[in-house]
Amino acid sequence: QVQLVESGGGSVQAGGSLRLSCEASGYYSRNNYCMGWFRQAPGKEREGVAAIWSDGTRRYYVDSVKGRFTISQDSAKNTVYLQMNSLKPEDTAMYYCAAQHWGLCGTWSKNVYAWGQGTQVTVSS
C-alpha cells in the first residue's frame, strides 16, 4: 500500500505564498498513476485542486486556482509539490494529497488509492 505524508502548511496573509509537499512511500507497482491535491474547508465538501500524471506530462487545475497554483513532481524523491501564490482567504482549508488511477486524473473523483493525513492552510485578510 502507498502511504502519503503532507507538509508545508501554515498561516499567511492574503497575497502570500506557501509550498506544500507530499512524499509517497510504500509499494505501488502501477506504471502510471495520478497524484492530486484536494482541500476541504469547514462545512464544505472536499474538492479537487490540482493533479499531475506520475510522469509529469499532464497537469490539471480547478478554475479557482489556475494561474496561482502550480503542481510539480520529483520522481527521484517520490514527492509532489503544490506551489501556492497569491493566496486568498477562500483558499483556507485542510489540504490533502491523494494517489489514484491515472484515468481519473483531473476528474476530481474521490476514488483514490490513498489519502494523506492533511496539512492546514490558513489565509488571513
Task: Supply the pLDDT for residue 25.
Answer: 86
Task: Supply the pLDDT for residue 28.
Answer: 58
Counting Cβ atoms within 10 Å, is residue 4 exposed (0-12), middle (13-18) or buried (19+)?
buried
Residue 60, C-alpha cell as written in the block: 490539471
Residue 1: which residues within 8 A CB-CB, separation 6 or more? 26, 27, 28, 113, 114
Amino acid at 119: T
- Distances in Å between the Cα of 79 and the Cα atoms of 22, 33, 61, 65, 89 are 5, 13, 18, 21, 27
> Which residue has 507530499 as its cell numbers?
22
Task: Supply the pLDDT for residue 33.
Answer: 86
Task: Supply the pLDDT for residue 120.
Answer: 98
Closest C-alpha among 54, 48, 55 to residue 110: 48
Q: pLDDT per position in the chain (125 positions), as tens?
A: 889 999 999 999 999 999 999 999 875 545 578 999 999 999 999 999 999 998 888 999 999 999 999 999 998 888 999 999 999 999 999 999 999 998 999 999 999 999 999 999 999 99
Task: Supply the pLDDT for residue 31.
Answer: 55
